Amino acid sequence: MSIITSIRSQLAPVNSEGYPFVGTFALASLVLMWLWSPLGWLGVVATLWCAYFFRDPARVTPLRDGLVIAPADGRVSRVINAVPPADLALGDKPMPRISIFMSVFDCHVNRSPVSGRIERMAYRPGAFVNADLDKASDDNERNCLVIATAAGAKIGVVQIAGLIARRIVPFVKQGTSVGAGERIGMIRFGSRVDVYLPDGVRPLAAEGQTAIAGETIIADLRGGETGRSYRVG
């Protein structure tokens, strides 16, 4: 394998949503390079970061009925029971919730945690406080989805814009079918994704754990595991 081929195999493609941003950064870099080369090189670094931010790598998703897969890259910031947003129409009783915080260095393409049909989809404008704060679930701009599995389980997915994020871009529509690990949207520049599990389902993720969208198992609807223990270090 040549060096160029080896390098290419390690580079993830850029999602089409990022093309306008990368192009703008690149054009600005050329102008800055013409004005003053040190600024131009800073622009080159910013362009490379922009391409890195909008990367869209392939993922290897485990396929088995009942598995719930992480919908986002990032750090598992909360594993608690919480009342789901009214937009999900999942009732007013607390449900197991797993929150994954995405920093500006994480891949921001979100994926479906389960296979099923998008039964409900609701967008709500709001504030842009730090997505890692718990009040962001209620105050921030968000896009809510309910995915119904073939077995009848309903999984809530809430894409929450963050302090820097200013747009949630959906790739799917209400009524469409999705497979586990399929791309459902992205949030631009730092954000959070919450997953609401049916009552009684035990999360298989721990706070502080690093999740990989489309690959990390965060729950099992079949209840095959009674729980997991974790070691830090």
Q: Tell me: the pLDDT tens digits for 135-192?
A: 555 667 889 999 999 999 999 999 998 666 557 889 999 999 999 999 999 987 668 9
Residue with the bigger pLDDT between 87 and 137: it is 87
Of 169, 198, 193, the closest CA to residue 70 belongs to: 193
pLDDT at 105 exceeding the cut of 80: yes
Q: Give the lowest-confidence range in 5-19, 61-75, 136-150.
A: 5-19
Distance, CA of 83 to CA of 123 (rounded, Å): 18
pLDDT at 131 exceeding the cut of 60: no
pLDDT at 126 exceeding the cut of 80: no
Rounded to an integer, the average pLDDT of 67-88 is 96
Rounded to an integer, the average pLDDT of 194-210 is 95
What would the pLDDT profile of 38-51 be if each residue is shown by its tens digit? 899 999 999 998 89
CA 196 to chain CA centroid, Å, is 14
Distance, CA of 17 to CA of 140 (rounded, Å): 22
Distance, CA of 180 to CA of 219 (rounded, Å): 13
* pLDDT value of position 125: 81
CA angle centred on 40, ends 35 and 46, rounded to 5°: 145
Active-site positions read: 191
* pLDDT value of position 1: 54
* pLDDT value of position 87: 93
